[in-house]
Amino acid sequence: MSSSGKRKDEEVRVSDDDDESETHAPPKKVAKPADEIEDIFICNLDKNRRVFVRNCNGRIWIAIRQFFVKDGITLPCHSKHGISLSLEQWNDLRNHEEDIDKAFSDLSEV
């Protein structure tokens, strides 16, 4: 027996199983068809950020997304360049509006 308590032939079988799992690629993610996502534009936060209310498969989200201009066309950045809040998260954020305003005020006095 090896120092790990397994016999060599067991270790070989385990490593053989690992080799098989490496040959199987994980399933690819498929983008949702545009008809399953409905965006309502709310406002521009600045020249590259926009706010939308989004209905995605029956769930409502508040989305803040970053965009860029390429060849005169405005395109969305990768999904990591933004945030989507569920209605529950949005309401929780709104409930802390006074705390956030106070924190801004406190930090601006420093």
What residue spans define the domains of the chain? 1-85
pLDDT at 9 over 80: no
Question: Which residue did the predictor score with more confidence, 53 or 32?
Answer: 53
pTM for the complete prediction? 0.59
Measured in whole angstroms, the distance separating CA 99 from the mean position of its chain's CA atoms is 26
Instruction: List Cα–Cα distances, 77 to 22, 42, 74, 83, in angstroms.
Output: 31, 18, 10, 12
The fold adopted by the segment(s) 1-85 is: Transcriptional Co-activator pc4; Chain A (2.30.31)
Tell me, what's the pLDDT at 88?
A: 96
